[in-house]
């Protein structure tokens, strides 16, 4: 499907780098996923564990388990938020060379530094793998939902958990003299128990206990909390709920009365106090019909279906918006003053493109930034710098007109997509026709990407009908267009004035014709927090190596688990269903070998190569497989013999009926039936022989005949006998019937009999004769 990551805000810039990495793949398919704050990645000495399995290791391998990293995107290491958060993390945060946030873990028994983008890519890779396993097809595109419009990044379920953790940390310090913050494992356990307590309080208003065994120093701790105390504890957070709601109504230009229904989603919306605040703000009951945890994923899945050609959905449009206003700033050509223009206002429709026109004699730089830094939930307001290169003055020394297209793409990412310089080239009279043709083609040429340029607005200072970007030290305003921006190539002299001649003046010299050419200009983009090409390639290579290592480790663990499962399974069955199928001596030896293998697995074989486990399994299977086969054959062989005996009886009865002149088989040739009798006798003799031989064997010996051999005999018998005994009888032809011209088919004899009975009757009327006085109606066939 088409690329469909729906994003907004400064935290989305990392996705551009992820998309470049994604373009290395191929195939088709869609997938959906919710990026929850529980997303956990645990690093080990051999591999990585991602998802639910990693969450189980969050306490046992706390220093190497990464979680709660989503809000680190788009922030520098010296950001106050990072400095505050790092004290509450089980893993170490370090500063990278580019000033970003790095995560230090031990992986493959070595210290590694991973950027937040790498950690996120690991999670997305795991989600992609999960989707592919379920879809049974490759996945290359995804939809990611990122909050926009109005929200508070510090008002969520985790913030309510922190209030409970702070409360119980203080209580345990006073009551048990234990500092939970001094040991990260104890603190993580407290976070887990507080989250459980919070969920229980959403459905219970009574006092609820909190108990943790062996919390610290082998001491058990306990506490209690009720809903009223919890709401009092979180009063500061509850007061912040209305702020984004007011902001939302202001941005959408709606009144509370205009809202007909309110649906809330998200884990924190289950808290009764949160529901009450929202309901009170809108003055109506709120709806919770959607699953709070799955609502976002369902929305992403719907967007996938809309974008995918494989699904047909009800027609409706979803217009994304730019959550924060974006402006451009630039230096004037010959002055030190700066020009500023807001190219995309808050909640401007996206994707969208605009074209700005500048007058320049040389290369120039544009800097993009968020116009309202206070409204952006990140300290960095800059988006990036863009240098438009290869700009030069016209041959007559005049400034060149440079058209710059700015765009917010479908992912919410701002960029300067193209730039072109309008160049005037004088032409001779005989070149006029070709120049006019070039101009006509230029005016009629469609955009290169029709879909991308669907929403293109010309911010051209010649229009003079809206706020314009005016260069050369002119301010952004609604002032009339500058004389410098007047395009001469669009001026067409009046035909009457051109043809007017004055007798008393000499003829004027002909002015040279002007040909207009658009020259594409290169743009050098330097985005804030964007990964460089070399760094991105290194990340891709590193991730590829880790994926391969994870695959090898999974294969090694699978081989080890196969040995362990074989030991447990066979040891149980040797004392049960398999006991009769192995002799006493082999039974004792095999049990001893299984016990030795189990001890090896937990001692010397704890960390062996894959091949060591494969060899160990083969050693066990050399003894175990014959026992298993004897058991299976003893189960299946009687069933096959019974089926073969039934087929033999069936065909033997048919042969006997044939000899007794049964009408059902008197049409079969005698030579064919002899083949049936011969086949039945041969197979019956074979069955009797092998059954007698098998009866002489004990259960702990290999069988004389296998179930598959009996099945083959049944097939051979059926192939020989079935075509003969199922021959259909020849059909007997019935007398032919003659069809009368206007009536049903009548047998010839019946027709003669009717002729005799009608002898002397009134002859039939001729065609065309009419008897109006006759009461009986005339029967006629109408064609």
pLDDT score at 494: 42
pLDDT score at 704: 93
Cα–Cα distance for residue pair 286/231, rounded to 1 Å: 20
User: Is the preceding peptide bond at 351 cis, omega within 30 degrees of 0?
Assistant: yes
pLDDT classification of 757: cutoffs 50, 70, 90: very low
Cα–Cα distance for residue pair 643/653, rounded to 1 Å: 16
pLDDT score at 443: 43
Helix pair 707-725, 670-695: axis angle to 10 deg: 160
Angle made by CA atoms 188, 193, 194, in degrees to the nearest 5: 95
Tokens at residue 241, please? 């709920």
Tokens at residue 394, please? 């016209």
pLDDT score at 317: 77
Q: In percent, how much of the chain has pLDDT > 70?
A: 76
Reference 403, options 523, 292, 321, 302; nearest CA is 523
Q: Which pLDDT tens digit goes with each residue over 241-286? A: 999 999 889 888 899 999 999 998 888 888 999 999 999 999 999 9
Q: Is the pLDDT of residue 572 over 80?
A: yes
Tokens at residue 525, please? 């983009």
Q: Which pLDDT tens digit goes with each residue over 650-676? A: 999 999 999 998 888 888 899 999 999
pLDDT score at 347: 86
Reference 325, options 369, 365, 277, 282; nearest CA is 369
Helix/strand/coil for 80: helix
pLDDT classification of 135: cutoffs 50, 70, 90: confident
Q: Which pLDDT tens digit goes with each residue over 599-644? A: 999 999 888 999 999 999 999 999 999 999 999 999 999 999 999 9
More confident residue, 224 or 761: 224
Domain range summary for the chain, segments of one domain joined by +? 40-134, 155-282, 324-425, 532-725
Cα–Cα distance for residue pair 149/9, rounded to 1 Å: 9
Q: Is the pLDDT of residue 543 over 50?
A: yes
Cα–Cα distance for residue pair 376/109, rounded to 1 Å: 40
Tokens at residue 724, please? 């003969």
Tokens at residue 99, please? 């000033």
Yes or no: say if 32 and 300 are a contact pair by the CB < 8 Å rule.
yes
Point out the least confidently predicted range of 43-47, 73-77, 766-770. Answer: 766-770
Cα–Cα distance for residue pair 694/686, rounded to 1 Å: 12
Reference 610, options 561, 548, 546; nearest CA is 561
Reference 703, options 711, 694, 690, 712; nearest CA is 694
The CATH code of the domain at 532-725 is 1.20.1270.10
pLDDT classification of 738: cutoffs 50, 70, 90: low
Q: How long a stretch of residues is the chain?
A: 783
pLDDT score at 223: 95
Cα–Cα distance for residue pair 531/526, rounded to 1 Å: 10
Q: Which pLDDT tens digit goes with each residue over 433-443? A: 444 444 444 34
Domain 155-282, CATH number (from 3.40.50.300, 1.10.10.10, 3.30.200.20, 3.90.640.10): 3.90.640.10
Yes or no: say if 201 and 135 are a contact pair by the CB < 8 Å rule.
no
More confident residue, 29 or 231: 231
The pairing of strands 352-360 and 456-459 is parallel
Q: Which pLDDT tens digit goes with each residue over 695-734? A: 999 999 999 999 999 999 999 999 999 999 999 888 776 6
Yes or no: say if 85 and 67 are a contact pair by the CB < 8 Å rule.
no
Cα–Cα distance for residue pair 398/360, rounded to 1 Å: 9
Cβ neighbours of 518 (radius 10 Å) = 13
Helix/strand/coil for 214: strand
Tokens at residue 66, please? 């990464």
324-425, what's its fold?
Substrate Binding Domain Of DNAk; Chain A, domain 1 (2.60.34)
Select, from the ranges 141-155, 438-452, 462-476, the one with the highest average predicted confidence (pLDDT). Answer: 141-155
Q: Is the pLDDT of residue 463 over 90?
A: no
CATH architecture of 40-134: 2-Layer Sandwich (3.30)
More confident residue, 272 or 293: 272
pLDDT score at 336: 63
Mean pLDDT across the chain: 79
pLDDT classification of 35: cutoffs 50, 70, 90: very low
């Amino acid at each position: 499907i088409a690329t469909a990551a729906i994003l907004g805000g400064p935290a989305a810039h990392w996705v551009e780098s992820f998309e470049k990495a994604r373009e290395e793949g191929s195939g088709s398919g869609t997938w959906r996923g919710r990026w929850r704050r529980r997303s956990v990645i645990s690093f080990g000495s051999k591999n990585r564990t991602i998802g639910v399995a990693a969450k189980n290791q969050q306490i046992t391998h706390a220093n190497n388990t990464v979680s709660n990293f989503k809000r680190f995107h788009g922030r520098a290491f010296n950001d106050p938020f990072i400095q505050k958060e790092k004290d509450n993390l089980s893993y170490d945060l370090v500063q990278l060379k580019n000033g970003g946030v790095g995560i230090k873990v031990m992986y493959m028994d070595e210290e590694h530094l991973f950027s937040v983008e790498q950690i996120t890519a690991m999670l997305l890779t795991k989600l992609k793998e999960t989707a592919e396993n379920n879809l049974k097809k490759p996945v290359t595109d995804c939809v990611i939902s990122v909050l926009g419009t109005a929200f508070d990044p510090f008002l969520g379920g985790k913030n309510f958990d922190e209030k409970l953790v702070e409360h119980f940390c203080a209580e345990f310090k006073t009551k048990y003299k234990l500092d939970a913050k001094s040991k990260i494992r104890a603190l993580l356990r407290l976070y887990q128990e507080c989250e459980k307590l919070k969920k229980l309080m959403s459905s219970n208003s009574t006092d609820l206990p909190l108990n943790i065994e062996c919390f610290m120093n082998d001491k058990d701790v306990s506490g209690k909390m009720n809903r009223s105390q919890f709401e009092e504890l979180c009063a500061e957070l509850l007061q912040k709920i209305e702020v984004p709601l007011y902001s939302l109504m202001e941005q959408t230009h709606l009144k509370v009365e205009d809202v007909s229904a309110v649906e809330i989603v998200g884990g924190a919306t289950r808290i009764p106090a949160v529901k009450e605040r929202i309901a009170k703000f809108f003055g109506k009951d709120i709806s919770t019909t959607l699953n709070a945890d799955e609502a976002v994923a369902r929305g992403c899945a719907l967007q996938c279906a809309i974008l995918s050609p494989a699904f047909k959905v009800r027609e409706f449009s979803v217009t994304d918006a730019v959550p924060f206003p974006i402006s451009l700033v630039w230096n004037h050509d010959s002055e030190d003053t700066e020009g500023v223009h807001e190219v995309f206002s808050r909640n401007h429709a996206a994707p969208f493109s605009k074209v700005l026109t500048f007058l320049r004699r040389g290369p120039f730089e544009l800097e993009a930034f968020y116009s309202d830094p206070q409204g952006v939930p990140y300290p960095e307001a800059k988006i990036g710098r863009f240098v438009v290169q290869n700009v030069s003055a016209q041959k007559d020394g005049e400034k060149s007109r440079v058209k710059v297209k700015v765009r917010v793409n479908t992912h919410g990412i701002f960029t300067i997509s193209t730039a072109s310089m309008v160049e005037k080239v004088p032409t001779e009279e005989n070149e006029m026709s070709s120049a006019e043709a070039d101009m006509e083609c230029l005016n009629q040429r469609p955009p290169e990407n029709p879909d991308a340029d669907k929403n293109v607005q010309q911010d051209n200072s010649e229009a003079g009908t809206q706020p314009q970007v005016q260069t050369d030290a002119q301010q952004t305003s609604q002032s009339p267009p500058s004389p410098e921006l007047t395009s001469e190539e669009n001026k067409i002299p009046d035909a009457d004035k051109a043809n007017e001649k004055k007798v008393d003046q000499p003829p004027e010299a002909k002015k040279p014709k002007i040909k207009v050419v658009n020259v594409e200009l290169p743009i050098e983009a330097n985005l804030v927090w964007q990964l460089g090409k070399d760094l991105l390639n290194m990340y891709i290579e590193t991730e590829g190596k880790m994926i391969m290592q994870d695959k090898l480790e999974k294969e090694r663990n699978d081989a080890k688990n196969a040995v362990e499962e074989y030991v447990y399974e066979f040891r149980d069955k040797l004392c049960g269903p398999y006991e009769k199928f192995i002799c006493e001596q082999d039974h004792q030896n095999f049990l001893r070998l299984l016990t030795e293998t189990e001890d090896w697995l937990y001692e010397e074989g704890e960390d062996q190569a894959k091949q060591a486990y494969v060899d160990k399994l083969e050693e066990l299977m050399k003894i175990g497989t014959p026992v298993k086969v004897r058991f299976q054959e003893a189960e299946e062989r009687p069933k096959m013999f019974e089926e073969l005996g039934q087929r033999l009886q069936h065909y033997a009865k048919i042969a006997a009926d044939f000899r007794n002149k049964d009408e059902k088989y008197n049409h079969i040739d005698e030579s064919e039936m002899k083949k049936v009798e011969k086949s039945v006798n041969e197979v019956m003799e074979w069955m009797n022989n092998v059954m007698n031989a098998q009866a002489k064997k004990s259960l702990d010996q290999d069988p004389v005949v296998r179930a598959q051999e009996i099945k083959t005999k049944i097939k051979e018998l059926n192939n020989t006998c079935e075509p003969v005994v199922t021959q259909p009888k020849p059909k007997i032809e019935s007398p032919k019937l003659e069809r009368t011209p206007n009536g049903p088919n009548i047998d010839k004899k019946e027709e003669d009999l009717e002729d005799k009975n009608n002898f002397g009757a009134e002859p039939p009327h001729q065609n065309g004769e009419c008897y109006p006085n006759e009461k009986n109606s005339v029967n006629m066939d109408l064609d």
